[in-house]
Amino acid sequence: MRSKIKRCRACGLYTLKEICPICGAATSQTKPARFSPEDRYGRYRRALRQEAE
């Protein structure tokens, strides 16, 4: 079964849409990011995303 998740080529955002809702660039099929319950860098990633908005 193929995954429906897509990734924006420009900004790297994961979405289910054909066009990125953030930057409007085209998205492509990809596998989702690896999940780890011990996400050591999640705090930094969320802070960076919050700062970018």
E strand spans, the chain: 6-8, 14-15, 27-29
Flag whether 51 is in a domain. no
pLDDT given at position 4: 85
Q: Which domain range does residue 15 map to? A: 1-31
- What pTM value is reported for the model? 0.50
pLDDT score for 36: 82
Residue 19 lies in a domain: yes
19-33 pLDDT, tens digit each: 999 999 999 988 766
Residue 11 placed within a domain: yes
Distance of CA 31 to the CA centre of its chain: 10
pLDDT at 2: 62
Give the model's pLDDT for residue 45.
Answer: 87
Q: Coil, strand, or helix at residue 6?
A: strand
pLDDT of 1 over the 50 cut: no
Tell me if 44 is assigned to some domain. no
